[in-house]
């Protein structure tokens, strides 16, 4: 724990720093939730106030920023920004639809799998931004309701993202804070993710899937799609696949190579920028590099930066240690009970609030429990509980994850709006089912 040595010399007006930090922290949460003010503004302002009010000094604030998370996010966003131009995602979706002879239920399963796999390797929002338009085109050709497809897409993006270190921001943060690697995440989470994906498709089949019908003529039109034409730039595609392959290999061998995830992602991004711009004149390079940088979601990045400082400030006052002790007292210091509390509370809270600030808060809180469970090694089941709860909980409501809102936007504009209540009535129980499966898995494997 970071002691009072990191705090600035004097807290303003002689107020109790723990209370000031707690109030600032709570206000940040509330204002972010209301969505009246852009979340990057809120978190940066709160971070600034933390320093101005003397909860921590600038040096401590900078130390609080997890640059491994920031670097990994920016690196992957740059790689995706360039790769998406190649048309490879449209190719994948069309190829998958044709593999099942354009049968409506087969397409739903295939699109879900493509979404899940892509979300496991890339950011969820980007994945649905790329897969949703092709899906809408296919359902329009088949003259069937796109709703079940978009519903399944939301679930698959959040479920697939749970499987890997880079799939979802909570995992990136957990991995970065604990040193858990890409392989650790894949080895510990991917097995249960497969089960949850299959289990999620079952209710979707019974509610919608078995009623989906398309005429042979309409299916024929989809079968005549030429997916190879979707690839707009073959040279770029090869470069992207090469770099993505290298980056994933880098993640897999990160521990062996002694590299952190951010180094792998940022170096990969730099290499791809080099390849894609090689041989072009200076003006062309400037434009393309700037275009790629503009695709980075700076709002998310600065939201993280501010949030890390706020949480670090709160952590430094000992408030999170206090909360951790309270939670341990509640569970009697029992590992299983603690894991279950973390799993279920993260799931339900992540369905309602943004899981990024929640996980940012939970990380130091769980770390503070290490002495009770025999050191950092003993915390492993708790990290998996947090990841499963926070990532899968996002499926519970339409506001549970940003990808949900992006899909809802497409649905709305396509004239098939996904209503909040209607979605929650279906999605919340399916989300609870996925958490129940996670619970069985955690008990079976770790507790």
Partner 1 sequence: MKANIIMNPHPMTLRPTDTVATAADRILKHHLRHLPVVDEQGRYLGTFSVYSLLKLTLPKAVLDKHGLDNVSFVTESVEDLAQRLGRRRDEPVKNWLNIHEVARPDTHAMEVMLLMLHGRTTSVPVVNKTNNRLEGIISFWDVLEKLLGENS
**Residue whose CB is less far from partner 1, 98 or 367:** 98
Identify the H or E element spanning 396: none
Judged by CB under 8 A, does residue 414 bind partner 1?
yes
Scan residues 193-252 and list those touching partner 1 (CB under 8 A). 221, 224-230, 232
**Using an 8 Å Cβ cutoff, are 119 and 406 in contact?**
no
The pair of structure tokens assigned to 313 is: 């400030």
* Shortest distance in whole angstroms from residue 220 CB to partner 1: 11
Q: What does R_g of the chain's alpha carbons equal in angstroms?
A: 23
**Using an 8 Å Cβ cutoff, are 47 and 2 in contact?**
no
Of 34-42, 131-139, 168-176, 294-302, the segment contacting partner 1 by CB under 8 A is 131-139
357-396 mask for partner 1 (x: CB under 8 A)?
----------------------------------------
- CA–CA separation, 307 vs 301, rounded Å? 10
**Residue whose CB is less far from partner 1, 141 or 354:** 141
Judged by CB under 8 A, does residue 320 bind partner 1?
no
Q: How many residues bind to partner 1 according to rule CB under 8 A? A: 26
**Using an 8 Å Cβ cutoff, are 386 and 174 in contact?**
yes
- CA–CA separation, 250 vs 184, rounded Å? 14
What is the separation of C-alpha 147 from the centre of its chain, rounded to a whole number of angstroms? 23
**Residue whose CB is less far from partner 1, 157 or 350:** 157
User: Out of 17, 75, 87, 170, which residue is the one contacting partner 1 (CB under 8 A)?
Assistant: 87
**Residue whose CB is less far from partner 1, 139 or 171:** 139
Dihedral, CA atoms, 198, 199, 203, 208, nearest 10 degrees? -10
User: Out of 43, 69, 90, 355, which residue is the one contacting partner 1 (CB under 8 A)?
Assistant: 90
**Residue whose CB is less far from partner 1, 117 or 231:** 231
Judged by CB under 8 A, does residue 137 bind partner 1?
yes
Pick from 223, 203, 107, 222: which is nearest to 155 by CA? Answer: 203
The pair of structure tokens assigned to 302 is: 């600065």
The pair of structure tokens assigned to 19 is: 């209370």
Q: How far is CA 218 from CA 109, 139, 247, 412, in A?
A: 19, 10, 40, 24
Pick from 343, 400, 349: which is nearest to 366 by CA? Answer: 343
Judged by CB under 8 A, does residue 140 bind partner 1?
yes
**Residue whose CB is less far from partner 1, 138 or 272:** 138
**Residue whose CB is less far from partner 1, 154 or 335:** 154
Scan residues 331-350 and list those touching partner 1 (CB under 8 A). none
The pair of structure tokens assigned to 425 is: 């009535």
* Shortest distance in whole angstroms from residue 411 CB to partner 1: 10
Pick from 104, 100, 110, 162: which is nearest to 131 by CA? Answer: 110
Judged by CB under 8 A, does residue 133 bind partner 1?
yes
Q: Pick left, alpha or beta for residue 3 (phi over 0 → left; psi -120 to 50 → alpha; otherwise beta).
A: beta
User: Out of 410, 427, 432, 439, which residue is the one contacting partner 1 (CB under 8 A)?
Assistant: 410
Judged by CB under 8 A, does residue 415 bind partner 1?
yes
Could you please report the per-residue DSSP string of 30-83?
Answer: HHHHHTSS-HHHHHHHHHHHHHHTTSS-HHHHHHHS-HHHHHHHHHHHHHHHHH
Judged by CB under 8 A, does residue 149 bind partner 1?
no
Of 129-137, 280-288, 367-375, 432-440, the segment contacting partner 1 by CB under 8 A is 129-137
Three-class DSSP category at 279: coil
The residues, ordered by sequence, that sit 6+ positions from 409 with a Cβ below 8 Å of its Cβ are: none
Judged by CB under 8 A, does residue 405 bind partner 1?
no
* Shortest distance in whole angstroms from residue 287 CB to partner 1: 18
Of 114-122, 149-157, 236-244, 406-414, the segment contacting partner 1 by CB under 8 A is 406-414
Of 127-135, 251-259, 283-291, 328-336, the segment contacting partner 1 by CB under 8 A is 127-135
The binding site for partner 1 (CB under 8 A) comprises 87, 90, 94, 129, 132-137, 140-141, 221, 224-230, 232, 409-410, 413-415
């Amino acid at each position: 724990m970071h002691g009072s040595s990191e705090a600035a010399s004097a807290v303003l007006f002689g107020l109790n720093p723990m209370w000031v930090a707690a109030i600032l922290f709570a206000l940040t949460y509330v204002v972010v939730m209301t969505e009246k003010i852009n979340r990057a503004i809120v978190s940066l302002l709160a971070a600034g106030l933390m320093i101005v009010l003397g909860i921590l000094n600038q040096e401590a604030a900078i130390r609080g920023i997890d640059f491994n998370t920031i670097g990994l996010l920016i690196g992957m966003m740059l790689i995706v920004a360039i790769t998406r131009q190649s048309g490879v995602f449209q190719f994948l979706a069309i190829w998958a639809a044709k593999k099942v002879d354009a049968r409506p239920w087969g397409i739903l399963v295939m699109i879900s799998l493509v979404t899940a796999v892509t979300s496991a390797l890339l950011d969820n929002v980007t994945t649905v931004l790329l897969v949703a338009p092709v899906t809408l085109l296919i359902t329009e050709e088949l003259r069937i309701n796109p709703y079940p497809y978009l519903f399944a897409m939301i679930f698959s993006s959040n479920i697939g993202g749970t499987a890997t270190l880079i799939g979802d921001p909570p995992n990136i943060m957990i991995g970065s804070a604990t040193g858990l690697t890409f392989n650790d995440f894949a080895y510990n989470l991917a097995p249960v993710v497969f089960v949850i994906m299959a289990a999620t498709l079952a209710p979707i089949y019974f509610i919608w899937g078995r009623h989906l019908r398309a005429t042979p003529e309409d299916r024929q039109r989809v079968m005549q799609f030429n997916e190879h034409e979707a690839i707009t730039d073959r040279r770029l595609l090869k470069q992207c696949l090469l770099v993505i392959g290298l980056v994933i290999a880098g993640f897999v061998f990160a521990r062996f190579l002694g590299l952190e995830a951010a180094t792998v992602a940022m170096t990969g991004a730099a290499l791809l920028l080099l390849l894609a711009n090689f041989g072009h004149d200076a003006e062309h390079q400037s434009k393309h590099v700037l275009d790629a940088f503009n695709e980075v979601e700076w709002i998310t990045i600065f939201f993280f930066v501010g949030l890390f400082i706020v949480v670090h400030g709160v952590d430094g006052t000992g408030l999170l240690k206090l909360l951790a002790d309270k939670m341990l007292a509640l569970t009697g210091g029992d590992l299983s009970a603690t894991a279950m509390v973390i799993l279920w509370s993260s799931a339900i809270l992540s369905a309602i609030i943004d899981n990024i600030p929640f996980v940012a808060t939970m990380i130091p809180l769980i770390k503070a429990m290490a002495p009770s469970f025999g050191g950092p090694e003993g915390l492993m089941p708790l990290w998996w509980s947090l990841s499963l709860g926070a990532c899968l909980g996002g499926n519970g409501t339409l506001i549970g994850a940003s990808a949900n809102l992006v899909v809802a936007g497409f649905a709305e504009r396509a004239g098939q709006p996904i209503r909040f209540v209607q979605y929650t009535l279906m999605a919340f129980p399916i989300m609870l089912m996925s958490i129940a499966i996670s619970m069985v898995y955690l008990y079976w494997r770790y507790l």
